[in-house]
Amino acid sequence: MKATMKDVAKLAGVGVGSVSRVINNVPVKESTASKVKAAIKELNYEPDIYARGLKTNKTQTVALILPTVWHPFFSEFAYYVEEALEEKNYKMYLCNSDGKSAKEYEYIQMVKQNKVDGIIGITYSDIDQYISTTLPFVSIDRYFTEDVIYVTADNIAGGKIAANELKKRGAKNVAFIGGHQEIPNETKNRRKHFQLEAERLGLNCAVLDLNEPISDLISEVEKFLIAHPEIDGIFTITDLAAVDVIKAIKKLEKRVPEDIQVIGFDGLKMTLATEYLVSTIVQPVEEMAKTAVALLLDVIQGKGTPSRTVLPVFFAEGNTTKNVIL
């Protein structure tokens, strides 16, 4: 049977109040403290989180909502969020929403049920109506109409950097390839500012921006590349898109990076120990996770926080761009 506080008190020959004080590090006389501790150990006692929560209304628990953890970007993010949370003695629920707002809503309800203290969400569905400023919520990569806190990588700079790196490596006719959704989110800036910067640099810039979900990116890209045989540098909206683009390029019997250079976005690695998939604009995932956690915990504790955090990205050379001697 599970030991309760009363059992501990009885065994230690003290009142339950003292036991509670010991557990919560409230000063007690040394002699009673040691008696209580001995009793706790003997009974192998653990405080019941529910009874405690009923009084304190705190859970030390946060939910992370993302489309699917089965994706290197999200799993890396989840990894670092959990790590940051652990450091603050919080636990993390993981929710794979698959983009379904019903499931996202279910988790949002959990803060009202006292099951979690707050939420970090990478959500691309339409849950604006449920997100209020009173809800401890930190959004990643997506801004809401209301002033919901969010953190994002610097997608604007990312687009610019990609254009510059391509030019630096001798590309003359570049292209952006990607997809987009209805929901406004930060990733759209990747395309916009790549285009702007390419023009500014005097590069020709073609665009293939499909509507998501995309059924067959590879063959779309093939058609696009046949229509634009001059292209020698491509920036894709994500690293995974880059992988598909590369397949399309190889189908057309062109080489990467000799004929066409490719830069992706995300900085995907399959695991901590592996290399970047492609040359890429790296999002500072660990820092994004840490920042999101810090902001959320601030909100939970009622501290005011800035509502917008943009973290810097950087270019990482993979084997899909030419080496450049500086």
Q: Decide if residue 31 touches DNA (CB under 7 A).
A: yes
| C-alpha R_g of the chain | 26
Residue recorded with tokens 């003359």: 172
d(CA 224, CA 207): 9
92 binding partner (options DNA, its own copies, none; Cβ < 5 to 8 Å by kind): its own copies
Residue 253, phi-psi category: left (phi > 0), alpha (psi -120 to 50), beta (remainder)? left
272 binds, among its own copies, DNA, none (CB under 5 to 8 A by kind): its own copies
32 sits near DNA (criterion: CB under 7 A): yes
Judged by CB under 8 A, does residue 240 bind its own copies?
Answer: yes
Exposed e or buried b for every residue in 11-38, given b needs 16+ CB within 10 A?
A: bbebeeebbbbbbeeeebeeebbebbee
Any residues with CB less than 8 A from the CB of 37 and at least 6 apart, and which?
22
Residue 68's binding partner out of DNA, its own copies, none, with CB under 5 to 8 Å set by partner kind: its own copies
Minimum CB distance to DNA smaller for 33 or for 201: 33
Task: Name the minimum Å distance from CB 127 to DNA.
Answer: 24
Strand 233-236 to strand 91-96: parallel, antiparallel, or no bridges (unpaired)? unpaired
95 contact choice in its own copies, DNA, none (CB below 5 to 8 Å, kind-dependent): its own copies
- Rule CB under 7 A: is residue 48 a binding residue for DNA? yes
Partner whose binding site includes residue 305, from its own copies, DNA, none (CB under 5 to 8 Å by kind): none
State which of residues 38, 41, 51, 274 lies at the interface with DNA (CB under 7 A): 51
Q: Does 284 engage in binding with its own copies (CB under 8 A)?
A: no
DSSP string, 12-81: HTS-HHHHHHHHTT----HHHHHHHHHHHHHHT----HHHHHHHH----EEEEEES-SSSHHHHHHHHHH
CB of 30 to DNA, least distance (A): 8
Q: Annotate 167-190 with DSSP letters as a single string.
A: HHTT--EEEEEEEE-SS--TTHHH
Residues 60-79 that bind its own copies (CB under 8 A): 61, 64, 68-72, 74-76, 78-79
Structure tokens at 36: 């209580």
> φ, ψ for residue 24 (rounded to 5)?
-95, 15
x/- letters, 101..140, toward its own copies (CB under 8 A): --x-----xx-xxxx-------------------------
Tell me the C-alpha distance between 11 and 8, whole Å.
5
State which amino acid sits at residue 114. Answer: N
Out of DNA, its own copies, none, which partner does residue 201 contact, by CB within 5 to 8 A per kind?
none
Residues in contact with DNA by the rule CB under 7 A = 2, 4-6, 13-21, 23-24, 27-29, 31-33, 45, 47-48, 51-52, 54-56
Q: Which residues bind its own copies (CB under 8 A)?
A: 2, 44, 46-51, 53-54, 57, 59, 61, 64, 68-72, 74-76, 78-79, 82-83, 86, 91-96, 103, 109-110, 112-115, 240, 243, 268, 270-272, 274
